[in-house]
Amino acid sequence: MNNIPEFTVTQLNRSIKDLLEEKFDYIKLIGESGPITIANSGHMYFSIKENDEVISCICWKGNSERLDIKIEEGTEYNFYGRVTSYSKFGRSVYQLIVDQVEYSGAGSILKLIEDRKKELTQSGYFDKKHKVILPKYPKKIGVLTSSSGSVIHDIINRIEDRFPLTEIQLYPIPVQGKNSHIEIINYLNLIEELTSDKKPDLIIFARGGGSLEEMMPFNEIDLIKRVFELKIPSISAIGHETDYTLLDLVCDLRAPTPSAAAEIAVPNQAQVYSYLSDKRISLMESLKKKIRDPENFIIKFNSSTGILTKRIYEIEKKIENFLSSNLKILNNFFLSKKSFIYHKSLKINNFSPIQKINLFENKIYSLNRDNKIFLLNKFKFLKKNISFLERVIKSSSLDKNLKKGYAIIKNDESLIKNIKTLKSHDQFSIFMSDGKILIKK
């Protein structure tokens, strides 16, 4: 037993730490990220798991800020780092100190994208009813892409060839990296704060082809939600025709390539010129027709007025002949009627009814005068009777009779008129001129 190694707890822990760090100097660990906790210090604590096996991990603040991607729970990654051990709360544990992370192959990225797509689809972010129509002749187009590379040059050249009246506004963005989507969101906020005369009519998101991992900024949920809220129409042109991102689904239109986005964004000036030329020809023909039609009408009118004048002359002659022949007949007719009326008026004057009318007028006047006198006398008589009846009513009123000394006997609201009725009630009220009194037997 003398040759058995002897250690203190501290010595053993340090020996194990040295062995781990020497054996696993720098490794790549493939696994699924577990729950993530970021401490106030900025250090990131999480676990890596495979089936039921779990290892604790830490990523120091400095390394966490430099990671190329954002770690999300439930996603498989390749974790790079060193294995070490330490004592904590009376226990000896080992962990992986992570200093870099990458997606674990295309399958891992596609699963993450598909999960996000499902979540956003259920929330309605990709519904067609939210899409808006692109402007036909945009005055300004904002292009969010890398300031270097062929993409921006392709877009500029294509737009200038097709419709040089459109102004291109470049917003240089990083097209890959962990925080790229945050810078894109900041640019979108800046664009929507511009005044209306400086704000673009259309936005194009563009970048060249790349791996799934390089495309991940355009699959970030925060960016998708911000583009959904965008009030400016947008086109997505990310990668090649076979590539797709969640940004393609939320934008109002997806273009297979950046060059195609430029073609979609603006019309072809040659086609516009051709269209305007056709419209000019059509307008000229319309104006010529509007001039020719009145000329033809005037010519036809002038030719028709000669015929009309001749017909009017012929009609005037007929009317003149008709009037000359019929005026004589009318004149003779009126003369005969005048003579007839004259003789009849003489007979009427000889047998005038004026005397009879005067006699009837006198009789009517006499009757009218007599009737008037009769009615006046009748009204005086009725007035006296009404005055008399008023005095009788006033002298026989209830108040005056009570003041004379009379009294009224009632049971509730019923009037007691005789002794027999009075005897049948246990109580009754006597009303006099100065009030009432309740009598109980």
Q: What is the 3-state secondary structure (H, E, C) of 233-293?
A: CEEEEECCCCCCCHHHHHCCEECCCHHHHHHHHCCCHHHHHHHHHHHHHHHHHHHHHHHHH
Contact present, 430 and 436 (Cβ < 8 Å): yes
Report which of 165, 141, 143, 166 is spatially closest to residue 153, judged by C-alpha positions: 143
Task: Evaluate whether 173 touches 152 at the Cβ level (below 8 Å).
Answer: no
**Domains of the chain: which residue ranges?**
9-103, 112-126+138-267, 399-440
223 neighbors 247 (Cβ within 8 angstroms): yes
CB atoms within 10 A of CB 85: 18
SS3 state of residue 165: coil
The secondary structure of residue 193, as a DSSP letter, is: T
CATH for the 112-126+138-267 domain, from 3.40.190.10, 3.40.50.720, 2.40.70.10, 3.40.50.261? 3.40.50.261
Which pLDDT value is given to residue 332?
Answer: 76
Please give the structure tokens belonging to residue 115: 């999960």
Tokens of 221: 């949920």
| Beta-strand runs (E) in 51-149 | 53-59, 76-88, 91-103, 140-145
Angle between helices 221-228 and 105-122 (to 10 degrees): 40
pTM for this entry = 0.54
- Write out pLDDT tens, residues 324-358: 777 777 777 777 777 777 777 766 666 666 766 77
Q: What is the pLDDT of residue 352?
A: 60
For residue 238, what are the CA distances in angstroms to 120, 167, 242, 372, 429? 19, 22, 10, 114, 106
Spatial CA neighbour of 228 closest among 121, 72, 142, 143: 121
Task: Say yes or no: do domains 9-103 and 112-126+138-267 share a fold.
Answer: no
Pairing of strands 427-432, 202-207: unpaired
Per the CB < 8 A criterion, the answer to whether 192 and 134 are in contact is no
Q: What is the pLDDT of residue 1?
A: 59
Longest dimension (CA), the chain: 184
Helix (H) or strand (E) holding 355: helix 354-395
Task: Return the pLDDT at 348.
Answer: 67
Place of tokens 């470049």: 170
Q: Is 85 helix (H, G, I), strand (E, B) or coil?
A: strand
C-alpha distances out from residue 39 to 44, 56, 60, 87, Å? 6, 15, 10, 19
Q: Are 19 and 7 in contact (CB under 8 A)?
A: no
Whether the Cβ atoms of residue 143 and residue 169 lie closer than 8 Å to each other:
yes
Give the residues of the chain that fall short of pLDDT 50.
Answer: none
What letter would DSSP give residue 199?
Answer: S
Instruction: With beta carbons less than 8 A apart as the criterion, state whether 233 and 191 touch.
Output: no
CA 65 – CA 178 distance, rounded (Å): 9
Q: Which amino acid is at 213?
A: E
Task: Say which residues have a Cβ less than 8 Å from residue 441's Cβ, sequence separation at least 6.
Answer: 425, 426, 427
CATH 1.10.10.10 applies to domain 9-103: no
Q: Which amino acid is at 363?
A: K
**pLDDT score of 264:** 92
